[in-house]
Chains A and B, each alone.
Chain A
């Protein structure tokens, strides 16, 4: 317990912030890919696929991320894989994000107006063509604001990776605190840093939502 917060500590915190962003990107890309598959599986014509994906979503959404992180960390070790905190955190966050993004995107796909589905069917497009050319382009537009909003959740949730020893912003704050012991000041700085990363995204998602709302009301029948 000595000294004051100096430039080296701030550099270390900055490095942690970079890792927070890096882990968020990993979780977004991994979770996005798996989540897209989940979204399609949830509306699959095959009942077994629908049920299996529904169970996956229910299980993940009924379990805290912290427990999923522990399961990933100790589970991969239990089957004999040597895992770094980055692998464990990346894999766990991917599974977690996939369940939530999958549900968000399923809602967006299903909210494409019914006549569009019927028209695509009437044009004798195959299921793949229907999805790729008619439904998904419209669904992506609807899905953009909630997806940007969910990115805020992802960034905040990467803070939990600190408990499996991944040195992101939260963990680097704890490490700095161990040498300085000024917890309130340090955690306030950490909170501000998270706020600086998340708030622009929140504002952006709100703006997208408002713009979409206007666009939709223009389209609505009188």
Chain B
């Protein structure tokens, strides 16, 4: 057993690592925003009285939650190709990640909606708020506030899961690592550095969401409830 680590040989590629990390964050940011929208729509859809929409949303959520992301990425990648559509690896990655995280977000949001007391909505109706106002102020915002911690850890998991996009050669952090290790023959060192970068990225994301939570939900801060 002889373990010789040579970090400098790998670390001199730091611009590539940084570029990969930046692209990982970019992927995560796009998929977070789009996935949050898709997930909220799916959660609302599952709760409607229109049966067809509710069933369609349930099928979407259950299918995605019970198949691996890697398979989903390949299905989107080759599915679009079968339709004769050509997109960059980045676009395909964003699409696949959005579809994936949308299903998980839908489940979290549904739990949030179910936690809204019926009386609140009746009270709002009594005050003659419009349907849109009720949806926004009484249902959506309080629901998001309730599930904010679960929601944000889901988005951090999404950032980590985006490493799988290296398999369709989107140039994110893991793909960069695969390239560097085959170039330098220093696989172990490369992946140690990449692991450290991912840990830093997830800490940065957590801190960012925590700060965002303070800005978005000042009421919560006043009440002193932990986010």
Q: Does A12 contact B (CB under 8 A)?
A: no
Whether the pair A63, B188 counts as a contact (CB closer than 8 A) is no
> Is the pair A184, B79 in contact by a Cβ cutoff of 8 Å?
yes
Could you give, for residues 144-169 of chain B, a 1 whenever the CB lies within 8 Å of some chain A CB and a 0 otherwise?
Answer: 00000000000000001111101100
Q: Please state if B74 and A187 are interface contacts (CB–CB under 8 Å).
A: yes
Once bound together, how far apart are the Cα atoms of A217 and B191, in whole Å? 48
Q: Separation in Å of the A116 CB from the closest CB of chain B?
A: 25
Tell me the A29-65 residues at the B interface (CB within 8 Å): 58-59, 61-65
Binary flags per residue of A51-82, CB closer than 8 Å to B gives 1, else 0: 00000001101111111101100110111110
CB distance from B101 to the nearest CB of A (A): 14
B-side interface mostly: helix
Contact A190 to B188, CB < 8 A, known contacts A64-B174, A202-B66: no
For A67, what are the chain B residues with a Cβ–Cβ distance below 8 Å?
A: 163, 174, 177, 191, 194-195, 198
- Count of interface residues, chain A, beta-carbon cutoff 8 Å: 38
Size bracket, chain B contacts: 35 or more
Contact A78 B68 (CB under 8 A): no
Would B66 and A198 count as touching, CB distance under 8 A? yes
Q: In the assembly, what is the distance between CA of A198 and CA of B71, in Å? A: 14
* A172 within 8 A of partner (CB): no
Is there an interface contact between B62 and A62, defined as CB atoms closer than 8 Å? no
Binds B, one of A3-11, A138-146, A156-164: A156-164
* Distance in angstroms between the alpha carbons of A78 and B7 in the assembled complex: 13
Q: Kindly state whether residue B212 has any CB partner on chain A within 8 Å.
A: no
| Chain B interfacial positions (CB closer than 8 Å to A) | 1-3, 5, 62-63, 65-72, 74-75, 78-79, 81-82, 160-164, 166-167, 174, 177, 181, 187-188, 191-192, 194-195, 198-199, 202-203
Measuring CB to CB, which residues of chain A are less than 8 angstroms from any residue of chain B? 58-59, 61-68, 70-71, 74-75, 77-81, 152, 156-157, 159-160, 162-163, 170, 183-184, 187-188, 190-191, 194-195, 198-199, 202
